[in-house]
Amino acid sequence: MASLRDIRRRIRSVRNTQQITKAMKMVAASKLRKAQARLMAIRPYEQAVGQMLHTVLARLMGDENPLLVGRGGKRVSLILITGDKGLSGAFNNNAIRRAEGFIRERPDQEVAVTAIGKKGARYYLKTPGHHPAAVYTGLSEAVTFAQAAAIMSKQVAGYLAGECDEVHVIYSYFQSAIAQQVRVERLLPFETAEAAREAPAAAQEVYLLEPSDEEVAARILTESLNIRLFRALLESASSEHGARMTSMDNATKSADDIIGALTQQFNRARQSMITTEIAEIVGGAEALNK
């Protein structure tokens, strides 16, 4: 049985750890509020740009923009968004497992992974045969629209050059601080092309576009792609902070349970020691009386 000194040392160690988890929970909660505010601001804007794009694309009769044309090839570019840090429960592992499932579902296709986040990058740097095509780190704390647009522009350039036939993104959709959902979205060829062509004919008469329908559609299409990736990055950042806050809260509660169990163990050991000492004193007194 552990000595009283050892049990006290363990209780003190757990309490120190508990203070750290409490502090990390508070930091994660603060970062979550900021990230969530940015996310809630971008979601309506993305929807508005998407509605405008639907209206503009409905006026185009053919596949004028190459980003709307599906080639059905075997080369796929996969953007995997994870975090740069751990201590966030299964947040990073869930995204990586989904990426692995995505690759297994396409045995006849070549999947090139673009890793955004240190956790995903480290995994694929250590995985034989899946060296990441590109790595981006430091975006989970305060990603900017310009950074997202730069990443997306490289994906678009590769698609137009024929280096890949599809572009997908895997990220964690933020539902709440305790609920995140890993999602896979196809960015290229643009998914809304068919829905836009099926829009009502009356929508074609709403706007007078200059200099041409094709040029305006191309500009809005590029903006929409940039916003979709930017929103995915914000979703992932909010999910990471929420997962870390939840994980640290669970760790704090677990520390309470451990401290309670150790305290009971300490009390039992102390009671046993006192009982033993009393028994020895009584035994000694009886020996002297004989």
d(CA 206, CA 90): 47
User: Do residues 69 and 63 lie in contact, with contact meaning Cβ atoms separated by under 8 Å?
Assistant: yes
Per the structure block, which two tokens stand in for 255? 């520390």
Residue type, 52: M
User: Do residues 114 and 271 lie in contact, with contact meaning Cβ atoms separated by under 8 Å?
Assistant: no
In the CATH hierarchy, which top-level class contains the domain 33-245? alpha beta
d(CA 58, CA 202): 10
Residue type, 49: V
Query: Domain spans of the chain?
Result: 4-25+246-284, 33-245
What is the total residue count of the chain?
A: 290
Residue type, 138: G
User: How many Å is the Cα radius of gyration of the chain?
Assistant: 29
Q: Read off the pTM.
A: 0.84
pLDDT value of position 92: 94
User: Do residues 201 and 55 lie in contact, with contact meaning Cβ atoms separated by under 8 Å?
Assistant: no
> How would CATH label the architecture of 4-25+246-284?
Orthogonal Bundle (1.10)
Residue type, 14: V
Give pLDDT tens digits along the chain (290 positions).
Answer: 568 888 889 999 999 999 999 999 999 999 999 999 999 999 999 988 888 888 777 766 555 678 877 777 789 999 999 999 988 889 999 999 999 999 999 988 899 999 999 999 999 988 877 788 899 998 888 889 999 999 999 999 999 988 899 999 999 999 988 889 999 999 998 875 444 444 444 444 556 767 776 787 788 889 999 999 999 999 999 999 999 999 999 999 999 999 999 898 888 888 887 887 787 777 777 777 76
Q: Walk across the sheet containing 134-136 and list its strands.
A: 134-136, 110-116, 75-81, 166-176, 179-188
172: number of CA atoms within 13 Å, CB side?
31
pLDDT value of position 201: 46
User: Do residues 212 and 60 lie in contact, with contact meaning Cβ atoms separated by under 8 Å?
Assistant: no
Return the axis-axis angle of helices 91-104 and 118-126, rounded to nearest 10°: 50
Question: Strands 75-81, 166-176: parallel, antiparallel or unpaired by DSSP?
Answer: parallel
Angstrom CA distances, 270 to 48, 215, 262, 263, 279, stand at 68, 82, 12, 10, 14
d(CA 75, CA 185): 16
Per the structure block, which two tokens stand in for 181? 């959902």
Maximum distance among all Cα pairs of the chain, rounded to whole angstroms: 117
User: Do residues 85 and 120 lie in contact, with contact meaning Cβ atoms separated by under 8 Å?
Assistant: no
For the chain, strand residue ranges (E) read 75-81, 110-116, 134-136, 166-176, 179-188
Bridge partners of 176?
A: 179
d(CA 123, CA 23): 28
Per the structure block, which two tokens stand in for 204? 């074609």
